[in-house]
Amino acid sequence: MMEAKKLAKRDYKGANKKQKFEYQCNHCKKWFKDSEVQVDHKIPVGSLLSWEDITPFLQKLIPEGLDAFQVLCKECHQVKTNKEREER
Ligand SMILES: [Zn+2]
């Protein structure tokens, strides 16, 4: 999960001195600061009993379990969440 975030991270070179890194939203491809992005799991995990179950589950599903996670900005995450609710 943190790996997904590491991959989307780069050094921030903008004006805000307090900000060291920025993260790219996997959806809109824009760059955001740490507090504005969320790590989202692409696969709904509602059927899993606990987080301990997720690793073998993902490894079975995708060779690189990493792909199951993506970094999204709050806006895209909200859109995705709303979409998922509608589908239910
Ligand atoms: Zn976005």
Locate the domains of the chain by residue range.
2-87
Task: Please give the structure tokens belonging to residue 14.
Answer: 């903008």
* Residue whose pair of structure tokens reads 């991270």 in the numeric block: 9
What spacing in Å lies between the alpha carbon of 46 and ligand 1's midpoint? Answer: 23
What spacing in Å lies between the alpha carbon of 15 and ligand 1's midpoint? Answer: 21
**pLDDT of 2-21, one tens digit each?**
788 999 999 999 999 999 99
**pLDDT of 22-54, one tens digit each?**
999 999 999 999 999 999 877 655 555 566 666
